[in-house]
Amino acid sequence: MNSNNLVEFLQTGFRVSLGATASLVEILQDSGKREENLNQLRSELGQKVTEWAQKGETTEQEARNFIEKMWQRQSNPGNPGATEIPKDTPVTSSTPAASQNTQQEIEELTAQIAAIRTELEQMRQSE
């Protein structure tokens, strides 16, 4: 196998995983569309893989841009413009209450992901 093809394959796999995760979080956040999205996922898996790869690529690029901005701010501490938070960067609070709520949400989402994973495994076994 050509090393370029391997790298491209791994990068596409990473992007599909990243896009699928982002989509899963969106599905979990909107309980009204959860069942609709699961049914759609069952019927259109091939198309979803392509969408997830594209979404993963976008998310990867956004993450790279964010990291680059962080590195620039860190490497230029004397630059007053470097300490500004970009408008598209979400601002989070580090209060204990927010952290506790976030932790609860993460635990709930993890449980929901585990349930979806179990359901998908059962579907695969039944086919």
Per the model's pLDDT, the better-predicted residue between 80 and 48 turns out to be 48
Q: With beta carbons less than 8 A apart as the criterion, state whether 40 and 78 touch.
A: no
* Burial class of 59 by CB neighbour count within 10 A (0 to 12, 13 to 18, 19+): middle
Using DSSP, state whether 90 is helix, strand or coil.
coil
Q: What's the pLDDT at 86?
A: 52
Tens digit of each residue's pLDDT (9 = 90 or more) over 77-122: 665 554 455 555 544 444 455 567 777 778 788 888 888 888 887 8
Band of pLDDT at residue 42, cut at 50, 70 and 90: confident
Mean pLDDT lowest among 39-43, 56-60, 105-109 = 39-43
- The whole-number average pLDDT for the span 51-55 is 83
